[in-house]
Every structure is written in C-alpha cells, then in structure tokens.
Amino acid sequence: MSTLNNPAEPLMIPEIISSLMAPSRQLALRTHKQRSVSAASRLSEMSVESTTSDILDVKLAAMESELEYMRCIRDGLNEARQTEKVSHDAFQREIQPFLKSFRSSSSAIQVLKAQRPLIIEDIDEEVSAKRQRIEGPVDQSLLEHAYRDAIISRVLGASAKQKGPKFDQSAFKKEVYAYYGVNEHCHPGFGWCHVLGTVLPQKNIKAAHLVPKSMTSKEVSHLFGVSDGVLGDPRNGITLADNIELLFDQGTIAIVPMPGPMKSPTQWRCVVLDESKKENIIGTLGGSYMKLKEIDNKPLTFVSDNRPRRRYLYFCFIIAYLNAKSRGASDAVAKKVEATRFWPSAGEYLNRSTLVTLARCVSGSELPKSLVQDKTFDSGDASTRDADAGTVLGADVRDAILAMKSLNHCYAAALEGKLRMSQIYLLLFFIFTFALAFVQQRLCTF
C-alpha cells in the first residue's frame, strides 16, 4: 500500500500492449496517467502542519484519479481485444494483475469515504500519543505510519463485514431440504439428487449454492438489483450428489430450461457442456458404472412443485460459459453454448452493465446477443458504479476459476493415485490366483 509521502507508482501497462490500442485511447491513457501522477505528487508537497482532514482529501483525490486511470486501462484492453489487436493469451496475462489492483483500490476508496470521521480520529489519536514520546521535530513519517495502520485495519475489517457473518451451511442445507420436500420423500439420513433422480445417503448429498456464498452484499446488489435475501434463499440451492455438484461447479454440466414454452412449475434439464468428457465415468448407480453422457439432456426430477430461481441458474450458466471462454475462443464448451439456444426464456435476471463488464474482464469478449437480449435489466444512471462492480466481480470470478483449476489438479492427482493402487491390487490378485492354482496343481500331482 502507498504511503502519504511516497505514493505508489500508478499501474503500468506494457508499451507493447498500449501501442496496439487506438490513438485516441493511447492519448486518454497518457492524460489519465499524468493526472494520476500529478494528484499523487500533491501529497508529498503538503506541510506537516496540514490537518488530517486536508491530507485525507488529497489522498482520496489521488486514489480516485488512479482509479479513473485504471478504468481507462480496462476499457483500452477490452477495445484492443474486441478488435483482435491483442491476442487472447496477452489479454489474460495483462488483465489478471490489473483486476487485483482495481479491486484493492476500489475497496480502499469505499472505506475512506464511508469511515472518514473514524479514520481521522484514529490517526489523530495515534499521532498525538507518539508525539508525546518523541523529542525534537516531528516529520511526516509519523503521519504515514498512523494512516497506514488505520486504513489497513479498516479495509480488512470492511472486507470481512461485506462478506457478512460466517455462513451457516448446516442451516442452509436444512432449509433447502425443507423447501424441496426432501424430508417428506426420504427416510432420515438420506437425501435426494435432483439430477440423478435418486435417493442417496445424506453424506453423499450436497446443498449446492447457485450464487456463491463468497459474493459480497454489494456485488449481489449490483448484479441482481436486490441487496438482501439472495445467498440464504433456499431457492439459491439445489440438492445434488457430491460427484454431480463437482461437475456443476467445474462448468462441465449446467442446468437449463427444457426446450419449448415455459411451464409452471418450470421444467429443467441437465446438459453436458464439455463434450470431451462424455465417456468419463462419473460414479456408480444401481451397482453399475455411470458415464457422463448418461445425464446429458436428462430432465431433473423434483419431489415437490418448488423450483430454484431462474435468475440464479441463469447466473450459473453464464459463469460456466465465461469459464470456458476464458480458455480461448476455440474452446469447445464456448462454441457449443454459442451455437445452441440453451436459454430460451426471457426475464430481467441480471444487471446488463455489470454483466457485460464482468464478461469482458473474465473472458475478454462480448457475451452473445442470445445470452443478453431479454435477460437483463438497466439500473438507470449508475453505469459507472455498475461497471466498477462488474470489474471487482470479474476479479472474484477469476480467483474462483483459478481455485477450481487447482482443485481439479488435486482431484486428478488423487484419482490417478487411486487408479494406481487399484492396478496394484489387481496385479496382486492375479499373482495370488496364479500362485494358488500352481500350488493346487502341485498338490494334485502327489
């Protein structure tokens, strides 16, 4: 984090990338960068006698100027990607550190604005206490340390509060069970998988979240247009077998409406998005191995008339598409989604401005018209705030994608280890069988 006297250098974009942007965008970048540097330099020009309030005003102006410069970088990268001046790999490489910086700066600005009186009080108290212990003149480093201590603790605290109290997964699972009528349909200790349409031991059933519980209330508000009642809503969950939930989280499968006119209650089906995995064995059912292709286009089986919210499943579908698109324009999953009208129903599901920015930041591309038209809403005159929310959400989604990739690697390694052990067991079994037959043959000769 920057100090008051030595502000951090503004985020840099390699010249090899910026030179590919349109001349007007290059000029805008230079202008915003100069403004950012100029605003930051004013901090070092301030007197040690300046009030904390005055210093925070200058600091806030510098941070907002830097954020405006970041917005210009974001838009420039998106424009260069849309015109194919920048390759997919180059875009992915440059956007990742940018999103992290944008998220950090945006969070710090929000804290400075929301908690300004408390921050001033914290800084003044710390500076006053330390001045009493210091002999001689006081330089600005004292104020810098006080500012850093105050802002870091409050930014971290605000981030924790935004995510809310610890999510009670056990209570959520009970509510999801009750909402879908699982308790009435299954004996105690058992649960229901809506994709497989079967009863399984409760330990093998997950109450899968559609909108992740890691999203902040602000992100939920910008994306869905409501601030409360999303994450804990039982319609934000669905019960799935643990192996099916993993496929759902990976974006290998998705849950979409059945083709044709929408009915009430809504009819849903499972579709396999990743065709390359159709022959993969995903588990056992009824004593037989089950391949992924067996659940492709399979209607979901509900034991009551209650259904998930459409907008939540639509959000999951969009994230699965963006995950695939982030791997490249030639990704088979992305091509399948673009070529198939998976989501025919209309509805004001998500904020258009936030969604469009999210898509650009994650995939470097525009969403197909079929996925946006008649499925989004406009929030009015808050386009900048919505776009900023989409940028921060883009950083969060990319982090989640990277985390899922790591999980997939671990899962693959564990699976490979299990397969190796099974091969060893099989080899030992053959050796034992051969040895037993050999001994029996020898005994018969005596």
270 with 378, same domain?
yes
Phi-psi region of 328 (alpha: psi -120 to 50; beta: other; left: phi over 0): left
Structure tokens at 33: 């960068």
Q: How many CB atoms lie within 10 A of CB 305?
A: 10
Q: Per the domain annotation, does 5 fall within a domain?
A: no
- Check residue 254 and give its pLDDT: 95
232 with 287, same domain?
yes
- Check residue 3 and give its pLDDT: 47
71 with 216, same domain?
no
**C-alpha angle 114-116-117 in degrees, rounded to nearest 5:** 120
140 with 180, same domain?
no
204 with 62, same domain?
no
**Boundary of a domain, candidates 116, 143, 163:** 163
Q: Against a cut of 0.85, is the pTM above it?
A: no
Phi-psi region of 269 (alpha: psi -120 to 50; beta: other; left: phi over 0): beta
167 three-state secondary structure: coil
- Check residue 213 and give its pLDDT: 87
- Check residue 177 and give its pLDDT: 97
158 with 176, same domain?
no
pLDDT in single tens digits along all 446 residues of the chain:
444 444 455 577 889 999 999 999 999 999 999 998 898 888 777 766 778 888 888 889 999 999 999 999 999 999 999 999 999 999 999 998 899 999 989 988 988 888 888 888 888 887 777 777 766 555 666 667 777 777 766 666 555 555 556 788 899 999 999 999 999 999 999 999 999 999 999 999 999 999 998 888 888 888 998 877 899 999 999 999 999 999 999 999 999 999 888 888 999 999 999 999 999 999 888 788 999 999 999 999 999 999 999 999 999 999 999 988 888 767 788 888 888 888 887 888 999 999 999 999 998 888 988 888 889 998 765 678 888 989 998 888 888 877 766 665 565 555 455 545 555 555 555 555 555 454 444 434 33
Please tell me the total count of domains within the chain: 2
Answer yes or no: are the C-beta atoms of 242 and 210 closer than 8 Å: no
- Looking only at the bridges linking them, the beta strands covering 268-272 and 281-285 are unpaired
**Boundary of a domain, candidates 163, 185, 214:** 163
Q: What is the pLDDT of residues 391-436, one digit of tens each?
A: 998 888 888 877 766 665 565 555 455 545 555 555 555 555 555 4
125 with 255, same domain?
no
Q: Per the domain annotation, does 421 fall within a domain?
A: no
45 with 174, same domain?
no
24 with 87, same domain?
yes
Sequence-ordered list of residues with C-beta below 8 angstroms from that of 334, at least 6 positions apart, any chain: 321, 324, 325, 327, 328
179 with 319, same domain?
yes
**C-alpha angle 241-247-252 in degrees, rounded to nearest 5:** 150
Q: Per the domain annotation, does 442 fall within a domain?
A: no
Tokens 């601030």 belong to which residue?
227
Q: How many CB atoms lie within 10 A of CB 278?
A: 14
Sequence-ordered list of residues with C-beta below 8 angstroms from that of 186, at least 6 positions apart, any chain: 192, 199
How far is residue 200 CA from its own chain's centroid? 30
Q: Per the domain annotation, does 431 fall within a domain?
A: no
**Boundary of a domain, candidates 111, 144, 163:** 163
- Check residue 441 and give its pLDDT: 47
Q: Per the domain annotation, does 432 fall within a domain?
A: no
**Half-sphere exposure of 127 toward its Cβ, with a 13 Å CA cutoff?**
24
Q: Per the domain annotation, does 7 fall within a domain?
A: no
Report the amino acid identity of residue 117.
P
Q: Per the domain annotation, does 440 fall within a domain?
A: no
Tokens 């659940």 belong to which residue?
295
230 with 266, same domain?
yes
Q: Per the domain annotation, does 423 fall within a domain?
A: no
Q: What are phi and psi of 318, to 5 degrees?
A: -60, -45
Cα–Cα distance measured from residue 341 to residue 339, given in angstroms and rounded to the nearest whole number:
7
- Check residue 277 and give its pLDDT: 92
156 with 236, same domain?
no
Parent domain of 45: 15-163
**C-alpha angle 271-372-349 in degrees, rounded to nearest 5:** 80
